[in-house]
Amino acid sequence: MNIILLGPPGAGKGTQAKMLVDQYQIPQISTGDILRAAVKEGTQLGKEAKSYMDKGELVPDSVVIGIVEERIKEPDCAKGYMLDGFPRTVPQAEALDGMLQNLSSMIDHVVSIEVGKEELVKRLTGRRTCRECGAGYHVMFDPPKTEDVCDKCGGELYQRDDDNVETVTSRLEVYEAQTLPLIGYYKTQGKVRPIDGVGDIKDIFGRITQVLS
Ligand code: AP5
Ligand code: MG
Ligand code: ZN
């Protein structure tokens, strides 16, 4: 099963993807996570990506398309995968369709997680992530048992560089202008599964697994 998780910054794509990995035993492919790892390692890709990410802008299509093209050919993707944060522009979606056609494969579901703007800003500015295992938290909505310490591995929690109010505002604008048109793109293909993304994290997980089954 090949799935796209679509939704604005803060919709819960990463949160739900981590739970779906356990449920379906297919990997999560987050272009944001891959780019952040490159930034951390200080690679050429990371240096190029950082300037865009800090401004809340999209990294050029050619760069992320190349990353995904490599990644989906890895053996762990043979039984399916979840794309989190890709595609994000119509050219990316077209490129994905092209590469899947070459692999005689296709996307089965586009899970579109819907959350209003005010809630998104609250979620993003309060998000914390584990430096060691990548687990996600929220200072109010999903706090760790001990402040700034990961429940799962004891690692240190940090705040993403792009989770400040200014960058969040531009990320939300970029989403509306460049990513929202993908809903129409995938509606034409009959693949959009709209999910109400507001409420308890486990309830939302239930809504997603229901439409996938
Ligand atoms: P990326 O890392 O993909 O960030 P994003 O799309 O902005 O999405 P987020 O990761 O911020 O949100 P999420 O939906 O995963 O929310 P989460 O589950 O963490 O991209 C970052 C940057 O990389 C981009 O700006 C761009 O520069 C670049 N990039 C990446 N992909 C690219 C591409 N394809 N093309 C070009 N550039 C690309 O949840 C958020 C918070 O809310 C957490 O604290 C969580 O605990 C909390 N939460 C989750 N669910 C709930 C709930 N139900 N109720 C209350 N709180 C909740
Ligand atoms: Mg994410
Ligand atoms: Zn951890």
Q: Name the domain count of the chain.
A: 1
Pairing of strands 109-114, 2-6: parallel
pLDDT band, residue 101 (cuts 50/70/90): very high
Q: What is the pLDDT of residues 72-83, one digit of tens each?
A: 999 999 999 999
Of ligand 1's atoms, which has the minimum distance to the CA of residue 56? 25
Within a domain: residue 64? no
Assigned domain for 87 exists: yes
What's the CATH number where 109 sits?
3.40.50.300
Q: Mean pLDDT in the chain?
A: 97
Q: Which residue has the tokens 């687990």?
A: 135
Q: What is the pLDDT of residues 141-196, one digit of tens each?
A: 999 999 999 999 999 999 999 999 999 999 999 999 999 999 999 999 999 999 99
Which of 166, 193, 171 minimizes the C-alpha distance to 10? 171
Report if residue 207 sits inside a domain. Answer: yes
* Inside any domain, residue 15: yes
Range of the domain at 17: 2-26+79-117+166-212
Tell me if 161 is assigned to some domain: no
Token code pair at residue 132: 């060691």
- State the DSSP string of 49-87: HHHHHHHTPPPPHHHHHHHHHHHTTSGGGTT-EEEES--
Measured from CB, residues less than 6 Å from any atom of ligand 1 are 7, 9-15, 31-32, 35, 52-53, 56-59, 64, 85-86, 88, 92, 123-124, 127, 136-138, 141-142, 162, 171, 199, 201, 204
